[in-house]
Structures are given as structure tokens and as C-alpha cells.
């Protein structure tokens, strides 16, 4: 990573406009290695750079990769219309960094949601060509039957889809819950597949993307975490 002036560093991390960041620095709000830095033109190597702002410790990140345990009644939109937006669950600087969801979960769907400000990562993760498996737990209105599981595994025809869509795997959890793995990522796919198979989805939770599981992240609903390199490698 290259050296950047301190005002550019703060701006890149989402702490406001360049002018505002300069004011923060000149007011002595920023420290590096325990010493206040008041010259916004001072340049630092961003590799493994740690700094303190408002007495809180931060690490420079060229991009952020986030996993969020999304609650219900939250919209995956930067401009929500009927419910609070997902960015309200994150620190304000992520809005400045233009962090956005990787794909969407319906407002009433809960579970793992990836977010980032890395356009290439978002595009790659969202591409249907990658066939990334996603694991969901669906609660159904009617009882789960062996026939329902068989239909979902064999494939069901959805409106406006040229071919039947089938689950990669599907198993019954209990009388009204099933676990289903999909790769296609079509609009409202789990709900539409259950409806096409003669049942109805009353609750839906995404519990894994690739080999990265929500249980392994140990996040309560509404909580988030940064993803490290090893965790990102599991998203395949």
C-alpha cells in the first residue's frame, strides 16, 4: 500500500469530507502510535496502520468486507421506503464509504447478509455464473412432507423461468421447517419454490453462504463483523 496524507486516510475510511477530516486533525482528535498528529499533510504508510480517533481505535482498511446477521423488518436498500435501511445497523462512516449489500434479502427475511465497498467483490459475489451455494432454513405454513422435499429436489417450474429450478440439497428439520440449499439466487426463490410445490413460506432465514456459516460468526441479530481473509475464502 502507498503512503497517504492523514486527511486522505480519514476521508477514505468514511469519517467525512476532506475539509472536516482536516479540522479533526488540527483539533488534535487523531493519534498514531500514542501521539497526537495535528498536521493533516503528514503522510503514513497505510499497511497495517492503526490510529485513534475520538479515543476509539481504528485499523486502516482499503476495503471493508462485512457479515451482518440481518433482523426482520430491515430493508436491504440505501434508500429504504417502508422499513429502516440496513445501513442504520452499521457505524455512520460505512455510509460515507458507500458500503452496500451484496445481493438482497427481503425485509422479512433474516440471517447472513454480506456488505462491502469493493465493487469487484460485490459483482463477483452477485454473479449467477459463480453458483455459490446459499443455505436457508424455511418455516412452512403446512407440514413438511417427503413429497414436498422430493418436489424441491426434483425441480419446480416458476412463472417467467424457462426451466424448472431445483434445490441442491433439501432436508426436513421438523414438522414445519426445512433446510434448503440453492445456487441460482433468483428473485424470492425459496418462497416461490415452496408456493409452486403447494406450500407457503412463513419465515425464512439464511444461515450460510458457501462454507461460511452464521453459527461460526457467532452474531446475534443486528450484529455485524469484519470478515478476514480466511473467512472470505470460504465464500465459494
Predicted confidence (pLDDT) per residue in 114-158, tens digit: 999 999 999 988 887 788 899 999 999 999 999 999 999 999 999
Superfamily classification of domain 3-59: RNA-binding S4 domain (3.10.290.10)
pTM: 0.90
* pLDDT at 1 (0 to 100): 59
Considering all CA atoms of the chain, what is the largest pairwise distance in Å, rounded to the nearest integer? 70
Q: What is the dihedral of CA 42, 46, 50, 51, to 10 degrees?
A: 30
The yes-or-no answer to whether 65-128+212-232 and 133-209 have a common fold is yes
Q: Which CATH number fits domain 65-128+212-232: 3.30.70.580, 3.40.50.2300, 3.40.50.620, 3.40.50.1820?
A: 3.30.70.580
Judged by DSSP in three states, 156 sits in: strand
- Beta-bridged to residue 210, according to DSSP, are none
Q: Is 106 a catalytic residue?
A: yes
- The catalytic position among 27, 48, 55, 106 is 106
Q: Per residue in 39-82, pLDDT tens?
A: 999 999 999 999 999 889 999 999 999 999 999 999 987 776 78
- What distance in Å separates the CA atoms of residue 195 and residue 15, rounded to the nearest whole number? 46
Burial 105-118 (b: 16+ CB within 10 A, else e): bbbebbbbbbbbbe
> Which residues does residue 172 pair with via DSSP β-bridges, in sequence order?
178
Overall fold of domain 133-209: Alpha-Beta Plaits (3.30.70)
Other beta carbons within 10 angstroms of residue 101's beta carbon come to 22
pLDDT tens, residue by residue, 203-212: 999 999 999 9
The pLDDT tens digits of the residues spanning 9-40 come to 999 999 999 999 999 999 999 999 999 999 99
- Structural domain boundaries of the chain? 3-59, 65-128+212-232, 133-209
Residue 42, pLDDT score: 95
Amino acid at each position: 500500500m502507498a503512503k497517504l496524507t492523514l486527511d486522505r486516510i480519514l476521508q477514505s475510511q468514511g469519517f467525512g469530507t476532506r475539509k472536516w477530516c482536516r479540522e479533526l486533525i488540527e483539533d488534535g482528535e487523531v493519534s498514531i502510535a500514542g501521539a497526537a498528529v495535528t498536521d493533516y499533510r503528514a503522510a503514513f504508510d497505510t499497511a497495517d496502520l492503526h490510529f485513534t480517533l475520538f479515543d476509539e481505535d481504528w485499523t486502516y482498511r482499503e476495503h471493508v468486507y462485512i457479515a451482518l446477521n440481518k433482523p426482520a423488518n430491515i430493508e436491504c436498500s440505501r434508500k429504504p421506503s417502508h422499513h429502516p435501511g440496513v445501513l442504520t445497523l452499521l457505524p455512520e462512516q460505512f455510509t460515507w464509504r458507500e458500503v452496500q449489500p451484496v445481493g438482497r434479502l427481503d425485509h422479512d427475511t433474516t440471517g447472513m447478509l454480506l456488505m462491502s465497498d469493493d465493487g469487484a467483490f460485490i459483482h463477483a459475489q452477485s454473479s449467477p455464473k459463480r453458483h455459490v451455494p446459499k443455505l436457508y432454513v424455511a418455516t412452512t405454513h403446512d407440514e413438511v412432507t417427503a413429497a414436498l422435499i422430493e418436489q424441491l429436489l426434483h425441480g419446480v417450474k416458476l412463472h417467467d423461468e424457462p426451466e424448472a429450478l431445483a434445490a441442491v440439497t433439501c432436508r426436513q428439520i421438523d414438522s414445519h421447517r426445512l433446510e434448503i440449499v440453492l445456487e441460482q439466487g433468483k428473485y424470492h426463490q425459496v418462497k416461490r419454490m415452496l408456493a409452486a410445490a403447494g406450500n407457503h413460506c412463513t419465515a425464512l432465514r439464511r444461515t450460510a453462504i458457501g462454507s461460511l456459516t452464521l453459527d461460526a460468526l457467532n452474531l446475534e441479530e443486528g450484529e455485524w463483523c469484519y470478515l478476514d481473509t480466511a473467512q472470505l475464502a470460504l465464500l465459494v
